[in-house]
Amino acid sequence: MKKIRNAFLFFAALPFFLNAQSIHQENILYGAAYYHEYMPYERLDEDVRMMKEAGISVVRVGESSWSLFEPREGEFEFAWMDRIIDKFHEAGIQVILGTPTYSILYEGSIFSDQIQTKIIQEAIIRAGIENPDHQFAWPLIAKSGINEENNAVHFYYNYSSAPIEFVYPHSAGEELVTEDSIEKGALLSVAPWDVLIVEENETR
């Protein structure tokens, strides 16, 4: 348990150490992720032996395992990971202890779709990358870009077997397949599995 606690403290302080000195590595590390806790039967010794024979020099462990470190709220168990780390150290294999996310879910810990959508919208606005097309949802897929003439081009793909209608939110342009003029605010319809491509008239 002491080893695991010390490891967590080390990774918490790691950014401060990195600011003070560089890390020197003698050779290129060769390794893999290893999750003994997911094995259907006991095979740790055999896995370590096979990795040693294969030339593995480092393993990454512990991700997605918080429910094992804290099986019940406030009760912590680290001995199972101590055993794994000890086996690799005995074999001369370095260990990277990952962030043990995926905690046990408690009531109220899962956001609703509405809250998740609101969080994403706020993040997009704060990042300055908001786009009117962000209002559209699956199965209407919207993408935008700039062509060689420096005009904005908007793609709307209907990834479903039913027609979809939406209000076009950008500046006036031309639908490149039909060559129809499209005004801002126009009600457009995309046939099943079809695509609309609108090029704005104004050069950016």
Predicted pLDDT at 138:
87
Examine the domain organization and report whether 148 and 192 are in the same domain.
Answer: yes
In a domain, 113, yes or no: no
In a domain, 114, yes or no: no
Predicted pLDDT at 67:
79
Residue 18 confidence (pLDDT) above 70: no
Distances (CA, A) of 89 to 48, 83, 84, 126, 147: 10, 10, 9, 46, 56
> Distance (Å, rounded) from C-alpha 109 to C-alpha 60?
28
In a domain, 28, yes or no: yes
Last residue of a domain, one of 82, 97, 112: 97
Examine the domain organization and report whether 148 and 87 are in the same domain.
Answer: no
For position 18, which CATH number holds? Answer: 3.30.750
Confidence category of residue 12, pLDDT binned at 50, 70, 90: very low
**Domain that includes residue 170, residue range:** 131-203
In a domain, 24, yes or no: yes
User: What is the tens place of the pLDDT at every residue in 22-41?
Assistant: 445 566 888 999 998 888 88
Q: How many domains does the chain have?
A: 2
Structure tokens at 175: 């639908």
Question: HEC string of the chain?
Answer: CHHHHHHHHHHHHHHHHHHHCCCCCCCCCCEEECCHHHCCCCCHHHHHHHHHHHCCCEEEECCCCHHHHCCECCECCCHHHHHHHHHHHHCCCEEEECCCCCCCCCCCCCCCHHHHHHHHHHHHHHHCCCCHHHHCCCCEEEEEEECCCCEEEEEEEECCCCCEEEECCCCCEEECCCCCEECCCCEEEECCCCEEEEEEEEEC
In a domain, 144, yes or no: yes
User: What is the tens place of the pLDDT at every residue in 183-192?
Assistant: 999 999 999 9
For position 173, which CATH number holds? Answer: 2.60.40.1180
Residue with tokens 């995926």: 102
Residue 58 confidence (pLDDT) above 60: yes
Pairing of strands 173-175, 181-182: antiparallel
Examine the domain organization and report whether 91 and 9 are in the same domain.
Answer: yes
Last residue of a domain, one of 97, 119, 142: 97
In a domain, 119, yes or no: no
Give the mean model confidence (pLDDT) for residues 98-113. 62
Examine the domain organization and report whether 78 and 145 are in the same domain.
Answer: no
Give the mean model confidence (pLDDT) for residues 9-19. 45
CA atoms within 13 A on the CB side of 81: 29
Last residue of a domain, one of 97, 122, 144: 97
Nearest 5°: phi and psi at 183? -95, 150
- Report the predicted TM-score, pTM, of the whole model to 2 decimal places: 0.44
Examine the domain organization and report whether 85 and 142 are in the same domain.
Answer: no
In a domain, 53, yes or no: yes
Examine the domain organization and report whether 135 and 186 are in the same domain.
Answer: yes
> Is 117 in contact with 155 (CB distance < 8 Å)?
no
Examine the domain organization and report whether 136 and 87 are in the same domain.
Answer: no
Give the mean model confidence (pLDDT) for residues 118-143. 84
Name the maximum alpha-carbon separation found in the chain. 72
